Amino acid sequence: MAVSPGQVRLEQRLKVKIGEAKNLVRSHGNAGPRDVYCTVSLDQEEIFRSAPAEKTAGHSAFFGDEFQFDIPRRFRFLSFYLNDRDRPMKTDKIVGKVSLKKDILHKYHGKDQWFPVMPVDADSEVQGKVHVEIRHLSVGQMNDGYPQHMLE
């Protein structure tokens, strides 16, 4: 979409680094290897899925994923879901989640942060935390064609 003279087009972009999760409780009774992965959602729409974590041992999972994307629409929540795949049964179970309101993302802009993992439903017992870094940018496209980066 071209910007007409005198107009500004505002785009939003998220840049996310998912470092690791630790102190996770095993969601399956199986004591074998774990395949823990993370999905990232805007509201209920999945926008990213990590590969299974490297060196998933015991209660920790190391991801080391970094991605950025343009936000296509308004959203209320940015959520990180930790999932545990049971290899023998080939089933996935959500271990827990971290949900952040869009209105508070500016508090965490550019900071490494540990967030507590919360239960997905009332019947879940969850513990652990996940390490992420979030950058929420607004980019205004001026009529001169040069992007103007603004922190939201």
Contacts 24+ apart (CB under 8 A), 2-11: 3/141, 3/142, 3/143, 3/145, 4/143, 5/143, 6/143, 7/143, 8/140, 8/141, 8/142, 8/143, 9/140, 9/141, 10/138, 10/139, 10/140, 10/141, 11/70, 11/71, 11/138, 11/139, 11/140, 11/141
In this structure, CATH architecture of domain 10-151: Sandwich (2.60)
Return the pLDDT at 151.
45
Return the pLDDT at 65.
93
Return the pLDDT at 32.
62
Domain layout of the chain by residue ranges: 10-151
Q: What is the pLDDT along the chain (152 residues), one digit of tens a residue?
A: 554 555 666 678 889 999 999 988 765 555 666 788 999 999 999 999 999 886 566 688 899 999 998 887 789 999 999 998 877 677 888 889 999 999 999 899 989 999 999 998 877 777 889 999 998 877 665 555 555 544 44
